[in-house]
A and B are shown apart, each in its own frame.
Chain A
């Protein structure tokens, strides 16, 4: 998905802050009519005007509360298989029924969501940090270093990520920390490319030249100037990375190569539900799928809005 990145959403024109009404007889302050707005403040304004992004943020906050705070309120047993109560239809005791092992589906969604969100967010973070450093170093130093680093990225991009991911999932023990690393291994390439492109233009800017002239070293420039100046691109991509990572993790769990039971995640729940397609047991299919789609769409909405908010070039001025 990210390899085929495309401009998503449309830029929303900035609204000028309201000009204070001059009241007769009042002494006008020296302060200018337009209050100077910080970059982040501006970005926040654009973001908040994006209705879909606010919805997306709402969904993410809801999902986080649901998964992490929910189990404190809604107590279910998610470790002991209870075959007397399996495949119950939604009803009074279990609002969304139970699955084939007798686990309550709502409780399962919470526990499964925890691992989905944890792996998705952590993998995106690891991939972004690693990719950003890789790309910034390549773009700033250029020459042989750039050629070597980026050819490696090209080669890695040539291997479809799901195939590489399944190999790693087979070869290494499947625990949450290792799955995070495994997903990150396939995901860091895009941020590396994006940041390298930014670094290539940034390093010719006057202020970077000035730092070089004042004796600033390469790593100082990369850490203090190149990376902070590409923070917009980085944050936008990181948001999309979370969505992609949640999808990838769901996919490998769906294929039966994810986390081992009794731990679960949304993808694994779906893969259990597939066996009962013909029985009409919708509660094993729709809730988990919907949770994945809602979360992924929410992160995509947030990414779109962040792009409009942080990538100044796209803003209509």
Chain B
């Protein structure tokens, strides 16, 4: 077990270093004069660009630059936004918690709804309600996040006036708690898409487990239907969901970007989007590094939780 975890952590570290290498390459593929041109503007002359490059170490050989970059990252320096005159790290400290709150709520709602839904569908397999739910989840699964969000705004904000059409405002995560009704639509937008995919996994995973030998054994020992379902099957059927949560991190971050842009919710996705519109490369690349780290961490957690929850995995891989 320990060996497996250590091996997996080392792998994750390698991939993380790979991510920083890719981002470092991205920094150097910016066409038309690169970073200096993007920051100093179109009127900067060659001497000014050379001075900027020298000042920021951009005239050093690439490997040396990469090592400097890694060194900076290791010290929590993700770059400096010249447009906002603020370091990317301080922006992240401010806005990342808002995104994490949004994602955390969306995940919690999704799991609370999707798990019972999937079990219900598995039990009622191929009956009319299963078909209806499967159809509904297919629709939500295929629906672009931004369109789903717009429709929710049209219905619940425009027509019914139940919730505001904007996410909670204010620069700090604590501001959100006084505006909980504004959080409902953004969370619902993210959760509906996630529920659609999680419940489909839960349904097939429950179906798979219901025909296993251990279920027959449990029934033979006289366990009641609900005990078999909620004690034996549920625990085994949840294992793929654990993995799924970890693996969907990158996907959900992308969903959060669109949701934050649509609902004008100032989280990490929103500042990334604004940086993209204003060509603020330090923020863009800083956020890409952070989402890359989060994705690697997510899949690492998925594997470790999988190994803890399912002993068969760790014996097979050890």
Contacts and interface: CB of A to CB of B under 8 A. Distances in A.
Interface of A: 1, 3-4, 6-7, 151-152, 154-164, 166-167, 169-172, 243, 247, 250-251, 254-257, 267, 270-271, 273-274, 277-278, 280, 282, 285, 289, 292-293, 296-297, 300
A166 B273 contact: yes
Which of A3, A162, A169, A247 counts the most B-chain CB atoms under 10 A from its CB? A162
Closest 3 CB pairs of A and B: A155-B18, A162-B254, A160-B250
Interface in B250-267: 250-251, 253-254, 257-258, 261-262
Contacts of B248: 4
Interface of B: 14-16, 18-19, 21-23, 26, 29-31, 138-139, 142-147, 150-151, 153-154, 157-158, 165, 197, 200-201, 204, 244, 247-248, 250-251, 253-254, 257-258, 261-262, 272-273, 276-277, 279, 281, 284-285, 287-288, 291-292, 295-296, 299
14 contacts: A4-B248, A6-B201, A152-B18, A160-B250, A161-B250, A162-B257, A163-B253, A167-B276, A167-B288, A247-B144, A267-B144, A285-B151, A296-B142, A297-B139
B50 to A, nearest CB: 22
A273 B146 CA distance: 12
Nearest to B21: A155
Q: What's the dominant secondary structure at chain B's contact region?
A: helix
B291 A160 contact: yes
Q: What's the dominant secondary structure at chain A's contact region?
A: helix
Contact of A277 (B15, B153, B279, B287): B153
B29 A159 contact: no
Contact of A159 (B144, B147, B272, B291): B291
Given A270-B147, A296-B142, A158 B285 contact: no
B258 A251 contact: yes
Contacts of A172: 31
B19 A4 contact: no
A247 B295 CA distance: 21
